[in-house]
Amino acid sequence: MDTSENTLDAARQDNVNRILDAAERLFKHYGYTKTNVADIARDLGMSPANIYRFFSSKADIHRALAHRMLEASRAVARANAARPVTATERLRDHFLQQHRITVETFLHENKVHEMVVVAIEEQWSVVEDHIKQLQSIVAGIVREGIAAGEFREQDAVLASECMCATVVTLCHPQIVAECLIEDRRMTPADLVEFALRALK
C-alpha cells in the first residue's frame, strides 16, 4: 500500500471516528430513538449524504458504536488477563471489573442503556462476538490456572462457559439493572468467590 492509500485510509478513519463521536454524544444526550442521521450530520456541519458515504443507516452507526464501546471493556479484560498474578486473582478481578464497567458505562447513563438494550434485543453479531471473546479470555485464564495447579483438572472451555453463566447477573446489562433494585445480601464479590470455589 502506497502513501496516498495510507493517507486516504487515515482520512476515512478520521471521518468515521468523528461521526461515531457525534453519534455517541447525541445518543447519550437525546437517546437513541430520538436521534436520527440528520441530527448527527447537523452536529458535524455536514449533509446526511456525507454520513451515508461511511454508514448505510443509523443502525449501522449504532453497531459500530457498540463495537467501539465493547472493545473498550475487552481491552480491560485482556490487560487483566496478562497480569503476572495468580489465575484466581485475575478471574476475580475480571468479573468484578466487567461488573463495574456494566454499571458505570451501561446503566448509570440511561440513554446508553437504551442503546445496549436495542443491540441485545436485535441480537447483533457484535454482541455475540463480544461474549465469545470474553469467554475465550476467561478460558485462557482457567487453562493457566489448571497448569499451575490452582484449579483441578477439567475442560477449560466448558469451565469458562459455566463460570460465565454462573456470574451472568454481574455482566448482562438488563439483568444487572434488575438486580440493582433488589435488596440482596449477596454482593458481586460473594458470587465470584462462589464460582471460583467450583473450579477448585
**pLDDT, tens only, 91-114:** 999 999 998 888 887 665 665 666
CATH number of the domain within which 90 lies: 1.10.357.10
29 and 67, same domain (yes or no): no
| 3 pLDDT above the threshold of 70 | no
Q: When comparing pLDDT for 198 and 114, which is higher? A: 198
**Averaged over 2-26, what is the pLDDT?**
82
Q: When comparing pLDDT for 106 and 147, which is higher? A: 147
Cα angle: 167, vertex 76, 6; to 5 degrees: 135
Q: When comparing pLDDT for 178 and 96, which is higher? A: 96
Give the H or E element holding residue 158. helix 156-166
Give which of 64, 94, 70 is closest to 80, Cα–Cα.
94
What local confidence, expressed as pLDDT, does residue 154 receive?
97
115 and 144, same domain (yes or no): yes
User: What residue numbers bound the domain in which 15 lies?
Assistant: 1-55
Q: pTM for the complete prediction?
A: 0.80
C-alpha cell at 172: 448482562
89 and 186, same domain (yes or no): yes
| 174 pLDDT above the threshold of 90 | no
| 147 pLDDT above the threshold of 60 | yes
47 and 73, same domain (yes or no): no
SS3 186: coil
49 and 95, same domain (yes or no): no
